[in-house]
Structure 1
Amino acid sequence: MLSTNNIIRNSLAVFLAAIVTPASAADGFFNSVSLEAGAGSEVHMVRLAGQSQWEKQWFKSNGSHLSGYWDLSVAYWRGTAYRNVKGDHQDIADIGFTPVFRYQADSKQGWYAEGGIGLHLLSKRYDNDDNRLSTHFQFGDHLGAGYVAGKWDIGLKLQHFSNGGYKKPNSGANFFVLKAARSF
């Protein structure tokens, strides 16, 4: 039987192979990749993600529309107050899949606003700085804004992780995240 850590390691290997394989870009599996860094209360996160843009556009008006993308990610969390003890560390791997809605210009350049709610699998139950998540499965939702110039997308977002209250404790984990993405 595979452990959660093995599942995450194997998923990371497949994900990285898809990103670095030139055929994956040519086939349109990912339209862009991003590197993200985030911080919360006594916790830091780094995330690598691939995005697949949707072709569908809704609410077209005045040169803008609502569209979005699929986001597949792997992340590493480093808590620095494990079990509420400052200086004790907790390391967590996270795999996520999120549909993201984005309001943007028809040219897909300039300012945008976005939001998404996705599914995440954590390698360990989060227990850091008096915040605890009682399950490995979490919902990850975010609201963000950013700017696209050419092939580069720079954004900021607020991200919240929670199991939706289906098991206690569920105090949640929040991150402020900086994202840099490059399309191909």
Structure 2
Amino acid sequence: MLTFRKIAAGLAATAALLFAQAGHAADGIIDSASFEFGTNPKQRMARVAVQSDWDQRWFATNGRHLSGYWEGSLAWWRLDAYRNVPGQRKNLAVIGFTPVLRYQNDSKLGLYGEIGIGVNLFSKLYKNEDNELSTAFQFGDHIGVGYTTARWDFGLRFQHYSNASIKKPNDGANWIVAKAAYRF
């Protein structure tokens, strides 16, 4: 049986491969790769992602500007009360694509704030505790803060998943997510 630890180990191995290979990506399309861990009271999430910087500067003033990046991700969620049964665990895979706006220093170093709204596809319908998402397609939005160095980006996000009431029930799922990204 696949445990969350085995999935997290698999994600770590995938992240290592991404880090090793993404630096050689064609035409520098991929700028960074990240590993993220999310939690809430009844679930855990591990996610790997790759990013592509837009390399734009909008609303530049006082040494700061608005820019952004594309992010593609693959995540595994571990539910601890699947179908509202305490102790019944279920793993879900989630693939996502998110455009992210980031307000940052002109040097792209130091503190930043960001927001993103993307699309996600779940491997199975989500039902955990008394929360249910009735579609496999979900929007994923986040707001976050972080700090970048020349090679590393560390961030903290509040992440929300919902289908925007395309179909009921649509209880949503909320996460606190920590991110570590390596920039190439």
State the TM-score bracket (shorter-chain normalisation): 0.7 to 0.9
Q: Give the 5 Å matches for 1:1-184.
A: 20-21=20-21, 24-25=24-25, 27-184=27-184
Deviation string 1:36-78 (CA, Å, 9 cap, x unpaired) is 0001230100000000000111000000000000000000000
Structure 2 unaligned blocks of 5 or more = 1-10
Give, in whole Å, the separation in 1 of the partners of 2:75 and 2:84: 22
Q: 2:23–2:31: 8 Å Cα contact kept in structure 1?
A: no
CA positional deviation for 1:18: 6.7
- 1:84-141, CA deviations, whole angstroms, 9 ceiling, x for partnerless residues? 1111111100000000000000000000000000000000000001110000000000
> TM-score under structure 2 normalisation?
0.88
Q: Is the 8 A contact 1:53 1:69 kept in 2?
A: yes
Question: Percent of aligned positions with the same letter in both sequences?
Answer: 54
- Asked if structure 2 preserves the Cα contact closer than 8 Å seen for 1:111 and 1:146, the reply is yes
**Distance in 2 of aligned mates of 1:22 and 1:174:** 30
| Cα contact 2:23–2:30 (8 A) shared by 1 | no
Q: Say which SS state the counterpart of residue 21 (structure 1) adopts.
A: helix
Number of aligned residue pairs: 171
Structure 1 unaligned runs (5+)?
Answer: 1-11
In structure 1, what is the Cα distance between the partners aligned to 2:102 and 2:31? 15
> TM-score, normalization: structure 1?
0.88
SS state at 1:27 partner: helix
